[in-house]
A and B are shown apart, each in its own frame.
Chain A
Amino acid sequence: MDVVDITRLQFAVVTIYHYLFVPLSISLASLTAGLQTASVLTRDPERAQRLRRSTLLVGKLLLVTFAVGVVTGLVQEFQFGMGWSAFARFYGDVFGPTLAIEGMLAFFLEATFLGLWFFGWDRLPRLVHLATIWVVAIGTLISAYVILGANSFMQHPVAYQLDPSTGRAHLSSFTELMTNPVLFATFPHTIAGAAMLGGALLLSVGSWRRWIGPAPAGAAGSPEARAVDPDQRAFAGIARLGAWTTVAGGLATALTGDTLGKVMTSVQPMKMAAAEALYTTTTGAPFSLLTIGNLDGSRPIFSLDLPYLLSFLATGEFHSTVQGIDDLQAQYSQQFGPGDYAPVIPLAYWSFRAMITIGLLAALVAGVYLWLTRKGLDPREPRASALPFMSQRLFPRPLVQLSLRMLPTLPLLPAAAGTAGWVFTETARQPWLAFGLTLTKDGVSPGLTAGEAWLSLAAFTAVYGVLAVVWLRLVKHLVAQDLTDPPVRPAPPASTGDDDEGASEASPAAPRAAVPSY
């Protein structure tokens, strides 16, 4: 591999890893905010306590996830200069302001207010404290929007002018950059995918504790006792909230994915052709469900097609024409000079399919869970688990038990689907770094050596691997613990000696046990 390939691989590794934690942070922030809002709004004190305890647990998951997101996100900001300085120089006017604005507008909000939220339970008035987590949630959304704006520029460059004197791209309108049609389609798709991942994590955590994991200290072992135990009810609630979020996210991902496909077809026809391995321009093109054989344009050994569907997905009309790879290659050769303008077709074809199937499967699993646990039913009970059209023979008890045991691994599915989606988006854009403007090989840092790139790839892979193990261990530990109440804000002291250390030491009234302290 040459330095370009290694640097690409290095960028892929650190970006894919970062992007496992970002969607989790985005969705967990909103879910925490939602839970806390519900706890403030409810009038039932027992329910309010359950919701507060759930809020604290989900908030802790958010905190440890956010920490990994921050330290890996910092790498992203440095990456463009470190490995891709030619690109960074060329598009400094476009990318620089985007990164700076993301930092100033969104990231400061997230980082500062998350600290205020976690440590501020007993320091801030209740509603102010609630507002802090909403600020975090909104901050994550602004971050995602602005950063996706930069990515959308690479998919479909807008709002720039090439300066002939410097040979660099100049930003002509920030508004135009932030209203890129690709961004309008990508943002909701990304957020919906994030909802699936966060929802799946809650479903995993809640269902594990409700059905198979350790019972809370106070709960007796029998299923009846577990069913009425407040913490068990809290975990059941977390699981169902997660399942609803996953299902809703799944539906939204499918709908927004359809929109994105149409936008993509119009701005990056080669990407859609690659996704389908469609070599010849076809009117009324079929959607290929799967192909056995090769994807190099010769006849497949076996291909399962749905007639007209690709044309519909690409343009919204069944009989429209979809451009094929061969025609686009000829067209680009004429436009940009000789060269190979097709991405790696099998990678595009299979990552596109993996994204869709794995994502749908995740939503389906969550949907089945919702059905099996409706009205507080126990999925392990034969009566409850029998779907109307399924006899117990079709859905036997051991299978239910096994499915329940597998359920905690559910987050792997949306994580894999999201990764496949990004692999598709980024690799099917190749050989372009910014579509139609800069080739990937021209963006890499001119002085960079293969040895440096290898070393960096190895170091990041090793450290990120350790980080993943530690994160997983910590999440497992957090969810295995009993639920605890967040610290409460003490009644205002009679004296005004709030800052006086003597006073604060003399009044250990507030129970501080809930938040493990630094």
Chain B
Amino acid sequence: MDLVTVWFAVVVLCWVLFFTLEGFDFGVGVLAPLVGRDEHERGAALKTIGPFWDGNEVWLVAAIGVTYAAFPAWYSALLSGTYLPMVGVLLLLAGRGVALEFRGKHADPRWRRRCEVVLALCSAGVVALWGALLSVFVRGLALGADGEVVAQPGLAAGLSRTVAPLLTAQAALGAVAALAFSLLLGACFLALRTTGPVRVRAHRVAALAATVVAALGAVVAVAGLAGTEPLDVGLVVTGALVAATAVAVAAAVRLRREGVAFTLASLLVAGVVAAVMLANGDVVLPSTLDPAWALTRESAAATPAALGLVTAFGAVVVPGVVVYQVWSYWVFRRRVSSERVATA
């Protein structure tokens, strides 16, 4: 394997880890008001992600940083080509992180309530936006020969330059799917990490979300079968696998095998993200204007010297990162109980 392939794999891995790990903490953010009837229960739900969300979010920093380091042209086209949606992502992430971190630092019930609302809305918004963006990345942007999305003349057209790609049925489906996946992950995580009524409600949500995801998978598989174009085998297989895994998750939840359910749900999300990123083969960002203007791994890659540098660094540092992140999950492995928090 050459360095370009290795670094493409690392980029995919970073994005997969980001969407999987943050997927569950986004989900918990949305679900906290649903599974928690009072402040202590909601506090217990949020405490399950308290020590982790920050470290999880660094995988986004890593994903963007590694994409820039290994594929500068991809990074540039991706971010300048989705300028306004990215502004949205950043602001929603800001609201989410601050609400989560600030909630516990003030005992006033109104303060906590407001933080919970901001957290739930921002978490849901950012998941939906990422889902839509992922589907746009698969489909491609209106890249010109210089690798940039060019503005149409006129103020409205100029403003909508980077919003327009999100206004498609495909992007809407991406948003809905991302929300469903994230809620499934979040519910499974809550079921695994809490006790008492929060855990019971998390089970119910997990079962419901698994059903929705299974249905989505089935729809995708059927759409692949019924497509007017030649049979899309990849789509059919992916849809079927998603549906089957979701059913398995639902079964595990029913059997109270929460560890199994969460593992399966994580694998499901990781697999879907990886499938999305590998969907175009060698092309990392298609151009909807002319296939010749698409960015490929080779054309977007940094120089061998720069790749060698990040390789040397990554080989030393990344295993360490994985070790201490796993350790932090181990340190906080105990279930969080709303009763114990209630004594506080």
Interface contact B76-A518, CB-CB below 8 Å:
no
Please choose the segment from B144-152, B229-237, B247-255 that sits at the chain A interface, where 4 or more of its residues have CB less than 8 A away. Answer: B144-152
Q: How far is the CB of A216 from chain B (nearest CB, A)?
A: 17
Are B331 and A120 interface neighbours, CB within 8 A?
yes
Q: Are B43 and A474 in contact (CB under 8 A)?
A: no
Which residues of chain A have C-beta atoms less than 8 A from B103's C-beta? 518
Q: Does A228 contact B (CB under 8 A)?
A: no
User: Is there a chain B Cβ closer than 8 Å to A96's Cβ?
Assistant: yes
Of B60-68, B166-174, B180-188, B282-290, the segment with at least 4 beta carbons within 8 Å of chain A is B60-68
Which chain A residues border B310 with CB–CB below 8 Å?
Answer: 96-97, 100-101
Contact for A96 among B68, B86, B87, B146, CB less than 8 A: B68
Count A-B pairs with CB separation below 8 Å. Answer: 288
Q: At the interface, yes or no: B93 with Cβ under 8 Å from chain A?
A: yes
Flag if B328 contacts A116 (CB, 8 Å). yes
Q: Mark A434-462, 1 if CB is under 8 A from B, else 0.
A: 00000000000111111110011001100
Partner of B321, one of A78, A108, A504, A515: A108
- Kindly report which residue of chain A lies nearest to residue B150, judged by CB atoms: A447
Residue B265 at the chain A interface, CB threshold 8 Å: no
Check if A518 sits within 8 Å of B105, measured CB to CB.
no
- Find chain A residues with CB under 8 A from B87 CB: 82, 455-456, 459-460
- The reply to whether B84 and A455 form a contact with Cβ atoms under 8 Å apart is yes
* Chain B residues, CB < 8 A from A123: 331-332
Cross-chain contact of B107 among A71, A463, A501, A516 (Cβ < 8 A):
A516
Q: Which of A44-52, A85-93, A246-254, A294-302 forms contacts with chain B? A: A85-93
Do B309 and A97 have beta carbons less than 8 Å apart? yes
A89 in contact with B147 (CB, 8 Å): yes
Task: Please tell me if B98 contacts chain A, counting CB pairs below 8 Å.
Answer: yes
Query: 1/0 contact trace for A374-402 toward B, CB 8 Å?
Result: 00000000000000000000000000000
B67-96: which residues lie under 8 A (CB-CB) from chain A?
68-70, 72-73, 75-81, 83-84, 86-87, 90-91, 93-95
Which residues of B lie under 8 Å from residue A80 when comparing CB positions?
A: 68, 79
Q: Which of B132-140, B204-212, B268-276, B336-344 contacts A (4 or more CB under 8 A)?
A: B336-344
Q: Name which of A64, A77, A459 has the most chain B CB atoms within 10 A of its CB.
A: A77
State which of A166-174, A182-190, A285-293, A317-325 sits at the interface with chain B. Answer: A166-174
| Contact among B58, B317, B344 for A517, CB-based, below 8 A | B344
Do A99 and B57 touch across chains, with their CB atoms under 8 A apart? no
Given contacts A92-B68, A474-B106, A501-B337, contact A115 B43 (CB under 8 A): no
Q: Are A70 and B54 in contact (CB under 8 A)?
A: yes
Q: How far is the CA of A71 from the CA of B339 in the complex (A)?
A: 32
Report A-chain residues with C-beta under 8 Å of the C-beta of B305.
Answer: 93, 170-172
Interface contact B101-A447, CB-CB below 8 Å: no
Counting CB contacts under 8 A, is A138 at the interface? no
**Quick one: which of B44, B62, B76 contacts A88, CB cutoff 8 A?**
B76
Chain B 149-179 per-residue mask, 1 if CB under 8 angstroms from chain A, else 0:
1110001001101100000000000000000
Q: Which A53-84 residues have C-beta < 8 A from chain B?
A: 60, 63-64, 67-68, 70-72, 74-75, 77-78, 80-83
- Contact residues in A for B91 (Cβ distance below 8 Å): 459-460, 463
Residue pair A447, B335 in contact (C-beta under 8 Å) = no
**Separation of A280 and B324 alpha carbons in the complex (Å):** 58
Q: Is the CB of B54 within 8 A of A114?
A: yes
CA distance A512 to B62 in the complex (A): 34
User: Main SS of the interface on chain B?
Assistant: helix
Q: Is B296 an interface residue (CB 8 A)?
A: no
Tell me the minimal C-beta distance from B161 to chain A in angstroms.
6
Using A448-B80, A451-B159 as known contacts, say yes or no to A505 and B106 having CB atoms under 8 A apart.
no
* Least Cβ–Cβ distance between A220 and chain B, in angstroms: 25
Whether B84 lies near A456 (C-beta < 8 A) is yes
Chain B proximity of A65: nearest CB distance (Å): 10
Q: State in angstroms the CA–CA spacing of A112 and B50 once bound together.
A: 11
- Interface residues of A, count at CB 8 A: 82
Asked if residues B54 and A477 are in contact (CB atoms below 8 Å), the reply is no
A95 at the B interface (CB under 8 A): yes
A112-B328, A460-B87 given; A101·B313 CB < 8 A: yes
Chain A nearest CB, measured from B300 CB (Å): 9
- A513–B341 alpha-carbon span in the complex (Å): 8
What is the bound-complex CA distance between A447 and B145, given in angstroms? 12
User: Which B residues touch A83, using CB under 8 A?
Assistant: 80, 83
Asked if B52 lies at the interface with its beta carbon under 8 angstroms from chain A, I say yes
Give the Cβ gap from A341 to chain B, nearest Cβ, in Å: 27
B3 within 8 A of A: no
**Chain B residues with CB below 8 A from A308, complex form:** none
User: How far apart are B332's CB and chain A's nearest CB, in angstroms?
Assistant: 6
Q: Is A508 an interface residue (CB 8 A)?
A: yes
Does the CB pair B158–A124 fall under 8 Å? no
Q: Cβ of B306 and Cβ of A105 under 8 Å apart?
A: no
B158 touches A71 (CB 8 A): no
Contact of A501 among B50, B195, B325 (CB under 8 A): B195
Complex interface: chain B residues within 8 A of A163 (CB):
303
B43 touching A77 by the CB < 8 A rule? no
Determine whether the beta carbon of B79 is less than 8 Å from that of A477: no
Given A85-B76, A174-B309, A452-B159: 10 more A-B contacts, CB < 8 Å: A63-B105, A70-B54, A88-B72, A96-B302, A103-B65, A104-B317, A449-B159, A501-B334, A512-B340, A518-B43
Q: List 20 A-B contacts (CB under 8 A).
A: A63-B101, A64-B102, A70-B54, A81-B68, A81-B75, A82-B83, A85-B148, A88-B68, A92-B302, A97-B302, A99-B68, A101-B313, A105-B313, A112-B328, A115-B328, A123-B332, A445-B76, A447-B81, A449-B161, A463-B94
Considering the complex of A and B, which 5 residue pairs feature the smallest CB-CB distances, nearest first?
A92-B72, A81-B79, A449-B158, A96-B69, A67-B101
